[in-house]
Amino acid sequence: MSLTLRTISREQHLAFIQSQPAASHCQVPAWADVKTEWRSENLGWFDKSGELVGAGLVLYRQLPKIKRYLAYLPEGPVINWHAPNLDDWLQPMLAHLKHQGAFSVKMGPPVVIRRWDSAAIKAGIQDPDVKRLKDVEATHIEPRAFEVADRLRKMGWQQAEDGGAGFGDVQPRYVFQVPLANRSLDDVLKGFNQLWRRNIKKAEKAGVEVVQGGYEDLAEWQRLYEITAVRDHFRPRPLSYFQRMWTVLNSEDPNRMRLYFARHNGVNLSAATMLVVGGHVWYSYGASDNIGREVRPSNAMQWRMLRDAYAMGATVYDLRGISDSLDETDHLFGLIQFKVGTGGEAVEYVGEWDFPLNKLLHKALDIYMSRR
């Protein structure tokens, strides 16, 4: 199969994404407008008959002082990863990116390698000898994903240094998902653990209401998000980031980004952003106040978002990143504990991979990044 690769228009790129059952929100053309500090390009793969068969959003970050770029395809490109001739897809991409001045390429194949259901994770948490997800036998292993990893290694791609703790990759390697395909909402609710079901009931009884917000409510979102940032010790993104995100994503598709609030007695207690691409729905950012926790606003909000995702025909509700730590003393443990209550599954991707086109500059970037 001979493939040619060239720059495509955003319209072509969007039409291709819309023809797929799902793709990452980091691979839609409008994501480039969210990431204003990067230059971007839309790439298309064409087969012999001239049909567009793959697409990728590339973000370029210039190195300080020289006209050389890191080329990054977050959670992409959207190609046939299981093709036996993966070379025919990736070699033209590397040649093109080198021609564009890239000294290094980073990509995140959207290829799942293992899944663990909630029961397996809970058993792992209770076992004192288990410290990480990979110490637990996976419920499902995808053999073809190992073939993809082998092919990439043979081509000279290097797995990102992190080696799988999940947060060393730029995009999370481990995520938590609630599968919705071929399940009734009743099934989904039954999959929740007792604590979650109790908390959803408690919120209902207390009169917590969950509402959707619009652009004009982003300042209120920001208020809750900044409270969360102080509590959880992270640097918040500015309001302008979320305003831009809302504007550019929803101008591409009016249903791409949503905003939710859980309120009690007229006071907003928690909030979340949701992203939608085809059958894949993400809970993207979450925020909550320090007050009103006893009425369980976050559980009520997640249940509403999940129901809305289901009503849209989503096949998966994605709660995004988790750490692979099952150690209760780990500061990131609370994240997996909260998400595991939804009865979903932990999912491991093959992670991010680098191809140094210029080994010297690639090494220099590594050293620079490790000092930051």
pLDDT above 90 covers what percent of the chain? 89
- Which runs of E-coded beta strand occur in the chain? 4-7, 39-46, 52-62, 69-73, 102-107, 112-117, 140-141, 158-159, 174-179, 209-213, 257-264, 267-277, 280-288, 316-321, 345-349, 353-356
Q: Count of residues for the chain?
A: 372
pLDDT per residue over 236-289, tens digit each? 999 999 999 999 999 999 999 999 999 999 999 999 999 999 999 999 999 999
pLDDT per residue over 336-345, tens digit each? 999 999 999 9
- DSSP SS3 for 304: helix
Beta bridge partners of 4: 46
Who's near 24: CB < 8 A, 6+ residues apart?
A: 74, 75, 76, 78, 110, 277, 280
All structural domains of the chain, each given as residue ranges with its CATH number in brackets, are 4-108+352-370 (3.40.630.30), 112-142+161-349 (3.40.630.30)
Q: Are 5 and 92 in contact (CB under 8 A)?
A: yes
In which residue are the tokens 């908390």 written? 199
| Cα distance between residue 70 and residue 72, in whole Å | 6
Please give the model's pTM, rounded to 2 decimal places: 0.93
How, if at all, do strands 158-159 and 353-356 pair?
antiparallel
